[in-house]
A and B are shown apart, each in its own frame.
Chain A
């Protein structure tokens, strides 16, 4: 039976992380290897399974393509950690802290006095030519002059065991959350080895990060409120954003959740605007403010830059800090370190030649075969080209490009990177490995996370390490020279104090989407009922003078369901075509298909609040109109299906959802929509001539779901007075106008008590108008005047309902009502 080490062999000419030149295990690894040998290959297999089970149950993902419909790619973590000796760590930590200090000072200079450019220490092309240099940020001093609150650097080891910096991440470095997640999993997988190796904990690093933000954020004496700003669930690292937000205790927000007023940033919540003092952004600078940066950004916060300029908010990292991410500056860093820090650069960058210097260009063309050519500017979107892969015409073209635009290219030396063991299923395999190290600003320089995101090539001969290309990650264990104290920011178990009841601070965006989900569900259902009544009259072919079909068609048009008013001489075929289009044409505003789309969209915006049962109904709904319908029968089936799904959604809302503030807005949306549609529809019928009105009572009861009640009560064919009473004045009928008004009253009362806003009062006027209406007027022989008067009352109610909706929108969602409070 082979031992574990027998399965491992590493290619020559590379540094090996596990074995020294003589083939013996390096001392920092020995306790781990001994432990693994003890487990045996089967034992390690079992642990590897534990690792993938944890990843699955925690839902850790990295969206390779970050497209909405793509299933998230599960995170890959090698069960074997990479072990780093204490003395080696001391060097790495101090070199990375120094590099962070230097880059921070560079940003201060480039967005300030620009001494580095004036003194010729850095070419202006690599600053002003860089699209990530943000002109609107020139002159902005961030709180405490810290531009880089967080920093990451990719490092790798060359054949002689020396570390090299490969790439700097100064914009919004990703990966610290993933390395924390890796650590949580691996420390559980090999608990005794973890203890025995005295691995340094990561929690202190995150505590330093929290302290730094709290200390630097301009709070004017308020308790600091810091948010994590994400581009949203479509982003490749959304999992990390959500994980970090939870770990750090920061609200996870999108750009739409924030607003800038008086150069101050606020979080829009249903309870009002809450001032934000700091933003931990996971959004590149470009996208952060559509007013001053990229105008087409839909995920930013208009005015954010002005707030930063006014010193009213901490943004981490400072906007514009991405300018230092180009490898083209590497060659200038030693001189800059001397100038800014008065000390030599501790860790070299991979040797680089920026072709904008004539001598460098000559060198690059002469040594093309040994070099990797990369774009110097971040927006060029060209891949790195290995010189030795070029021949003939390709090679000539590359040289021509270099000569034509030398400033746009940088050439880098190719480093054969070190190898580390990964678990291959039945033994160890050697793979190229690199580390991403993280630093955070302290009051006095930088502290480096004792650990890293280890990145391993996906296959044995691959050189490129990148998560988007399907790489594997590794936990990195930095050994301490003395026993370590274990702390975590995640509580082991929740206490009574952690119990959450209802939701506090529901973002306005959530309330807004739930409100519209309520409105669209109700609107879809009402539309489906009208279309069903219409379709069933179409399908019977019952087209004599007594038919109410023309009245129904007119009503559908009034309610914006039919695109055109029906013409009196239209053929049956033409009418049928129009009605079917009103069911299934998603491009037609007001059609059932269009309505369902809006409904599904609103639901998608509050995905996390919907149970999977809801999603069954919603998914069905979104597929229902994929194919156009030909026949009335098909259309009828779709209409029935939609009605049932809407009823299910209504049932889930009443039975399944927690009654927090968000839920109240869902119910408000339903009631407002129903009130509006009832008032508008009855108004239409009241406007018909006597015959048409009489004919329409039947379908009016049918489409307002009141026909059964009517028949049970009166046992005769519909008459105007009892129908109007049932549909408008009967406060026991859940489909009556007055019922909606009463329910709205209760809900609005509750909301204003919960969220502390003054009552929105539009309902008493409606109720008074109805109370004062004398129903005996319908006992007259000629009811035309009574119809006219009641129609006017209903028209006013419909108008006031729209105004109420607008008012709620301004007060709770956009916070633009005149008396909006800031706190």
Chain B
């Protein structure tokens, strides 16, 4: 399989019931550059025009734009548009990975033992974080598949399958504030919840796992055309294997991402990579509309008949 290119269009629109006089937003919508993922072009458009904006990288290396709006406004539109090229990862034999106990012991602290740079870099993803809990029930759930001597990646794949089979995808069951323990008890949730459950399980047995935020190419229902705004942001899990790096697993779809997952960024959990986070000064409430469209290059002209919104740079 050769490289494949996608066009991403992600609109976020806030409409305020009362004028907002001051607003400061942090935007994480720019795809990261990775092995196997190139960002060919990227543009953020903001309306109204910010009085100031700043691009920087956060502590996890994600690209961030901070914007300030200092005059009265009644809506805020953030449009992120990108062309991304994916190349397929090399095949990994999961059964050939080191045992999970070996990985756990490599990550564990021993007095005076130096940490290699890759272990130090994986350590932030071993502990509790705002949405991740380390608990006996998560460990027990994980240990059902992480039997003694099980190769790490084979175990992770089994855990993913177990969550996929035992949890129901249900957008009504949770919201962003539902704790991971409640998701675990209900056995229901969305991609964000299932990822948090899987990460909690992995970290509870001493492994390193991080939260990946991005997009997934979705297929339109059979016989139906692809529609603008029909997609959504997606989240999955990445697991650290010493000496080999990080491997992605998508518990919502029971799949290991190859050519249909586009990575925007990662962190310990959702809180680190929230796409738009901000503080406004003003009374009243707001409505929020989000629209995401992921289109393979081959279908691009079909969808955007009236020309492109940004040109493909090659």
Q: Which residues of A contact B (CB under 8 A)?
A: 114, 117-121, 123-125, 128-129, 131, 135-136, 138-139, 259-263, 290-292, 295, 302-303, 306, 356-357, 377, 404-405, 407-408, 809-810, 814, 816, 818
| Distance of A623 from chain B, by nearest CB (Å) | 27
Contact of A357 with B126 in the complex, beta carbons under 8 Å = no
**B126 contacts A816, C-beta separation under 8 Å:** no
Which residue, of B72, B123, B126, has the highest number of chain A Cβ atoms within 10 A? B123
Decide yes or no whether B94 CB sits under 8 A from chain A.
Answer: no
Interface Cβ pair total, 8 Å cutoff: 93
Known: A135-B124, A810-B72. 11 other contacts (CB 8 A): A114-B120, A124-B123, A135-B60, A138-B59, A262-B52, A291-B277, A291-B279, A295-B277, A302-B279, A816-B71, A816-B72
CA distance A129 to B129 in the complex (A): 7
Known: A117-B123, A259-B22, A302-B279. A139 touches B114 (CB 8 A): no
Q: Let me know if B21 is at the binding interface, CB within 8 A.
A: yes
The CA of A119 and the CA of B127, in the complex, are separated in Å by 19
Residue B34, interface by CB 8 Å: no
Is the pair A118, B24 in contact by a Cβ cutoff of 8 Å? Answer: no
* Closest beta carbon of chain B to A184's beta carbon, Å: 41
| Interface core residue of B54, B111, B114 (most chain A CB under 10 Å) | B111
When C-beta atoms are compared, the residue in chain A nearest to B112 turns out to be: A120
Chain B residues near A408 (CB, 8 Å)?
134
Interface check B91, CB cutoff 8 A = no
Among B59, B109, B110, point to the contact of A125 (Cβ < 8 A). Answer: B109
- In Å, the complex CA distance between A814 and B71 comes to 10
Contact B26 A292, beta carbon cutoff 8 Å: yes
**In the complex, what distance in Å separates the CA atom of A818 from the CA atom of B73?**
13
B139 CB within 8 Å of chain A: yes
B115 & A124 in contact (Cβ 8 Å cutoff): yes
0 or 1 for each of B15-38: is its CB under 8 Å from A? (1 = yes): 000000110101000000000000
Q: State the Cβ distance, B113 to closest chain A Cβ, in Å.
A: 5
B274 nearest CB neighbor, chain A only: A295
* B291: Cβ under 8 A from any A Cβ: no
User: Quick check: is B281 within 8 A (CB to CB) of the other chain?
Assistant: yes
Nearest CB of chain A from residue B85's CB, rounded to whole Å: 30
A290–B22 touching, CB < 8 Å = no
B55 contacts chain A at the CB level, 8 A cutoff: no
Q: How far is the CB of A67 from chain B (nearest CB, A)?
A: 25
* Distance (whole angstroms) from the CB of B169 to the closest CB of chain A: 27
State which of A124, A125, A295 has its C-beta within 8 Å of the C-beta of B120. A124
Contact residues in B for A262 (Cβ distance below 8 Å): 52, 68
Are A306 and B66 interface neighbours, CB within 8 A? yes
Q: Which residues of B contact A131 (CB under 8 A)?
A: 128
The interface on chain B, measured as residues whose beta carbon lies within 8 A of the other chain's beta carbons, has a size of 38
The reply to whether A356 and B109 contact each other, CB–CB distance below 8 Å, is: yes
Contact residues in B for A303 (Cβ distance below 8 Å): 24, 68
Return chain B residues, CB-CB under 8 Å to A816. Answer: 21-22, 70-72, 281
A260 to B54, CA, bound (A): 14
**Which residues of chain B come closer than 8 Å to A114, judged between CB atoms?**
120
CA distance A306 to B54 in the complex (A): 10
Instruction: Decide: A120 near B60, CB < 8 A? Known: A291-B277, A306-B66, A404-B136.
Output: no
CA–CA, A810 and B71, complex, Å? 9
Kindly provide the distance from the CB of A286 to the nearest chain B CB, expressed in whole angstroms. 11
Within the complex, what minimum Cβ distance (angstroms) separates B303 from chain A? 35
Bound state CA distance, A118 and B71, in angstroms? 47
Residues of A close to B59: CB separation below 8 A: 135-136, 138-139
Distance between B151 CB and nearest chain A CB, rounded to angstroms: 24
Q: How far is the CA of A128 from the CA of B135 in the complex (A)?
A: 17
In angstroms, Cα B111 to Cα A121, docked, is: 7
Kindly state the separation between the CA atoms of A814 and B124 in the bound complex, as whole angstroms: 39
Which residues of B (87-121) have their CB < 8 Å from a CB of A? 109-115, 117, 120
Instruction: Kindly identify which residue among B120, B134, B279 contacts A117, using a CB–CB cutoff of 8 Å.
Output: B120
B276, chain A: closest CB distance, angstroms: 12
Contacts of B124 in A (CB 8 A): 124, 128, 135
- Asked whether A814 lies within 8 Å of B52 as measured between CB atoms, the reply is no
Q: Mark B114-155, 1 if CB is under 8 A from A, else 0.
A: 110100100110111000001110010000000000000000
Q: Which residues of A contact B24 (CB under 8 A)?
A: 260, 291, 302-303
Among B21, B72, B113, contact of A120 (Cβ-Cβ < 8 Å):
B113
- Which chain A residues lie closer than 8 Å to B120 at the CB level? 114, 117-118, 124
Cα–Cα distance between A702 and B139 once the two chains are bound (Å): 75
Q: Kindly provide the distance from the CB of A334 to the nearest chain B CB, expressed in whole angstroms.
A: 12
Q: A128 to B123, Cβ gap below 8 A?
A: yes
List of B residues within 8 angstroms of A139 by Cβ = 59
* In contact, B127 and A404 (Cβ under 8 angstroms): no
A810/B21 contact (C-beta < 8 A), A357-B111, A816-B71 known: yes
> Is there an interface contact between A261 and B128, defined as CB atoms closer than 8 Å?
no
Does A119 lie within 8 Å of B114, measured CB to CB?
yes
Assembly CA distance A138 to B128 (angstroms): 18
Please measure, in the bound complex, the distance between the C-alpha atom of A121 and the C-alpha atom of B114, giving whole angstroms: 8
Residue of A nearest to B281 (CB): A814
List of A residues within 8 angstroms of B248 by Cβ: none
B window 235-290: CB within 8 A of A: 268, 272, 277-279, 281
Q: In the complex, which residue of chain B has the Cβ closest to the Cβ of A130? A: B127
Chain A nearest CB: distance from B199 CB in Å? 14
Tell me the minimal C-beta distance from A95 to chain B in angstroms: 25
Contact assessment for B22 and A120 in the assembled complex, using a CB-CB cutoff below 8 Å:
no
Residue in A closest to B280 when the chains form the complex, CB atoms: A302
Name 16 A/B residue pairs within 8 A (Cβ), A-sorted: A118-B117, A124-B124, A125-B109, A129-B127, A131-B128, A135-B60, A262-B68, A291-B24, A291-B26, A292-B26, A295-B277, A302-B279, A303-B68, A306-B54, A810-B72, A816-B22
Question: Which one of A121, A135, A818 lies within 8 Å of B71 (CB-CB)?
Answer: A818
- A-B complex: 3 closest residue pairs judged by Cβ atoms: A129-B127, A123-B109, A124-B123
Residue B47 interfacial (CB < 8 Å): no
CB-CB < 8 A to A118: which residues of B?
114-115, 117, 120
Given contacts A261-B70, A262-B52, A816-B22, contact A120 B126 (CB under 8 A): no
A407: chain B residues within 8 A (beta carbon):
127
Contacts of A814 on B, CB cut-off 8 Å?
A: 21-22, 281
Once the chains are docked, how many angstroms separate the CA of A302 from the CA of B66?
12
Q: Which of B54, B117, B128 contacts A377 (CB 8 A)?
A: B128
Q: Is the CB of A120 within 8 A of B139?
A: no
Report Cα–Cα, A810/B135, bound state, in Å. Answer: 50
**A119 partner residues in chain B, CB cutoff 8 A:** 114-115
A203 to chain B, nearest CB (A): 40
Q: Which residues of A contact B114 (CB under 8 A)?
A: 118-120
Instruction: List residues of chain A with CB within 8 A of the CB of B272.
Output: 135
In the assembly, what is the distance between CA of A138 and CA of B136, in Å? 31
| Cα–Cα distance between A408 and B111 once the two chains are bound (Å) | 17
> Are the CB atoms of A120 and B110 closer together than 8 Å?
yes
Among the listed B123, B134, B268, B278, which residue makes an inter-chain contact with A405, where contact means beta carbons less than 8 Å apart? Answer: B134
List chain A residues, Cβ under 8 A from B22. Answer: 259, 814, 816
Distance between Cα atoms of A114 and B120 in the complex (Å): 9
Q: Which one, B111, B115, B128, B279, contacts A290 given CB within 8 A?
A: B279
Q: Across the interface, name the chain A residue whose C-beta is closest to B23.
A: A302
Q: How far is the CA of A810 from the CA of B22 in the complex (A)?
A: 10
Q: Given the complex, which residues of B lie within 8 Å of A306, measured CB to CB? A: 54, 66
Are B115 and A117 in touch, CB under 8 angstroms? yes
Q: Compute how far the CA of A129 lies from the CA of B123 in the bound complex, rounded to whole angstroms.
A: 9
In the assembled complex, how far is the CB of residue B175 from the closest CB belonging to chain A, in whole angstroms?
15
Q: Is B58 in the interface zone, CB < 8 Å from A?
A: yes
What is the chain B residue whose CB lies nearest that of A810?
A: B21
Residues of chain A within 8 A of B126, CB atoms compared: 124-125, 128-129
The reply to whether A125 and B111 form a contact with Cβ atoms under 8 Å apart is no
* Separation of A464 and B39 alpha carbons in the complex (Å): 59
Q: How far does the Cβ of A815 sit from chain B's closest Cβ, in whole Å?
A: 9
**Min CB–CB distance B278 → chain A (angstroms):** 7
Q: Report if A136-B278 is in contact (Cβ < 8 Å); known contacts: A128-B126, A261-B68.
A: no
Chain B residues lying within 8 Å of A135, measured Cβ to Cβ, are 58-60, 124, 268, 272
CB contacts under 8 Å to A, within B57-94, are 58-60, 66, 68, 70-72
Residues from chain B with Cβ under 8 Å of A263 in the complex: 54
